[in-house]
Structure 1
Amino acid sequence: MSEIEPAVEDLRHATRRFYDTVADAYAAALPDTRAEAPLDLGTIAQFVADLPRGDGVVVDAGCGSGRMLTHLNGLGVSSVIGFDLSPAMVAQARAAHPDVLIEVADLTALPMQDAAARGILCWYAVIHTAAEELPAVFAEARRVLAPGGGILLGFQAGAGERLIQRAYGHDVSFEAILHEPHEVAALVKAAGFDVTTVAERAARGRERHAQGFVLARRR
């Protein structure tokens, strides 16, 4: 076992514990897309517009309480499924979307057949993924996407980590990971995607960090 693997597993367990703790408060605080800026929502609209036609599902990978599943439905995406690392978050998402398949899963091991999806939305899920594990995440995304399928990543932009304290009214703290958009784009390209958009916007309102977005299509 490499030195990276125990650290990655520790981060995974810490992430699950954190979101299991704050799931109820998170769902109440973020019921919809009111926290997103117009540019953020524009990237999602472009992702949907670029989706290839076909019968494949669109995956919300790191779906949290399911608010982006609602948003995708509102944009006309009818066949959606969701995955999240936190069982408590999955319970929230299932309660909001009883007719949608939503399961507990890690970004590096999605319970799907090869080429079964036509799109993957990974909205602020890789903020809990170490840089050295990103290639595994993107390789798994490529596996489950059909050729031409799209992926959209949203994340806090920058280098290093940010400390989240007293999150959602709970006496818990957690460190999230910042990623440089062009570095993420390079890794996505190396995993077998054609990158179509790399964007970064400045922090606004109560945000402390810039926000990054990468949109790509599987070769």
Structure 2
Amino acid sequence: MSEDRIDQTRRLYATVAHTYAEVLPDTRYEAPLELGMVDHFIAQLPDSELPVLDAGCGTGRMLHYLSTRGVSPVVGIDLSPEMIAHARTGHPGVALETGDLRALPYPDASIRAVLCWYAIIHSDTADVVAIVDEVGRVLMPGGTVLFGFQAGTGERVVEEAYGHDVTLHGVLHETPEIAHWLNEAGFDVTAIADRGPVGFERNSQGFVLARRR
């Protein structure tokens, strides 16, 4: 992600963070397939006392879901300071940081699993490859990662995102591509799912679960 795109993304979420937290407080808009993938991810967690990372945690709605499923300890990181501020309000006991997913502030093999839930929607191919490599660095051997993302090719543009005078620029990815990059980075892909758009959605959704060799 170029510095201009990073700045643009930070400005977007600085503007919409409060509305985002109100509109998406939890997993009420996730379809059963999505929650099934997250539950499968949880069921595959390796036996370890290392933390589970919510990479791109936003305002913390998936941190809440993980906690209700008994996942502990959890940590989170997001590019937006304003989104992290909301997450800290709702999850005061969780270690949360502002940072770039391409340069995670965690030592090698210090994380047992990574949930990257719609956190690559602003990332182009080169950035996703860098994120996959970085996830592989911080994961323990046998650690798992689940990617959820808007599926397809090209980009999507949303004017007046979340009711504000800002434009959301998204990047679409296909599940075979994500699976390929994970395989190249030393992962074994264990589950792939795609579903078409429902309701107000414009795009398909994709999910890839993998385990670090």
The TM-score range, normalised by the shorter chain, is over 0.9
Quick check: 1:48 aligned with 2:38? Answer: no
Quick check: 1:88 aligned with 2:82? Answer: yes
Q: Paired residue for 1:129, among 105, 112, 123?
A: 123
RMSD: 0.8
2:31 aligns with 37
Aligned length: 213
Q: Secondary structure at the match of 2:93?
A: coil
Q: Paired residue for 1:78, among 63, 72, 76?
A: 72
1:197 aligns with 191
Quick check: 1:159 aligned with 2:169? Answer: no
Q: Secondary structure at the match of 1:129?
A: coil
Instruction: In structure 1, list runs of 5 or more residues that go unmatched.
Output: 1-6
1:9 aligns with 3
**What is the alpha-carbon distance in structure 2 between the residues aligned to residue 201 and residue 110 of structure 1?**
30
Alpha-carbon distance, 1:9 to partner: 2.0
Identity of aligned residues (%): 55
Quick check: 1:105 aligned with 2:75? Answer: no
Q: Paired residue for 2:180, among 186, 193, 200?
A: 186
Quick check: 1:145 aligned with 2:139? Answer: yes
**What is the alpha-carbon distance in structure 1 between the residues aligned to residue 72 and residue 125 of structure 2?**
33
**What is the alpha-carbon distance in structure 2 between the residues aligned to residue 25 and residue 106 of structure 1?**
23
**What is the alpha-carbon distance in structure 2 between the residues aligned to residue 12 and residue 198 of structure 1?**
29
Contact 1:157 1:210 in 2 (8 A): yes
Deviations 1:34-87 (A, max 9, x none): 010000000000000001001110000000000000000011102000000000
Alpha-carbon distance, 1:8 to partner: 2.1
AA aligned to 2:140 is: A
**What is the alpha-carbon distance in structure 1 between the residues aligned to residue 9 and residue 177 of structure 2?**
23
**What is the alpha-carbon distance in structure 2 between the residues aligned to residue 211 and residue 152 of structure 1?**
13
**What is the alpha-carbon distance in structure 1 between the residues aligned to residue 12 and residue 151 of structure 2?**
21
**What is the alpha-carbon distance in structure 1 between the residues aligned to residue 122 and residue 55 of structure 2?**
13
Alpha-carbon distance, 1:102 to partner: 0.5
Quick check: 1:26 aligned with 2:57? Answer: no
Q: Secondary structure at the match of 2:2?
A: helix
Task: Give TM-score, length-normalised by structure 2.
Answer: 0.98
Alpha-carbon distance, 1:26 to partner: 0.2
**What is the alpha-carbon distance in structure 1 between the residues aligned to residue 2 and residue 35 of structure 2?**
30
Instruction: In structure 2, list runs of 5 or more residues that go unmatched.
Output: none
**What is the alpha-carbon distance in structure 1 between the residues aligned to residue 60 and residue 178 of structure 2?**
25
Could you list the runs of 4 or more consecutive aligned residues of structure 1 that deviate by over 3 angstroms after TM superposition? none
Task: Give TM-score, length-normalised by structure 1.
Answer: 0.96
Contact 1:8 1:130 in 2 (8 A): no
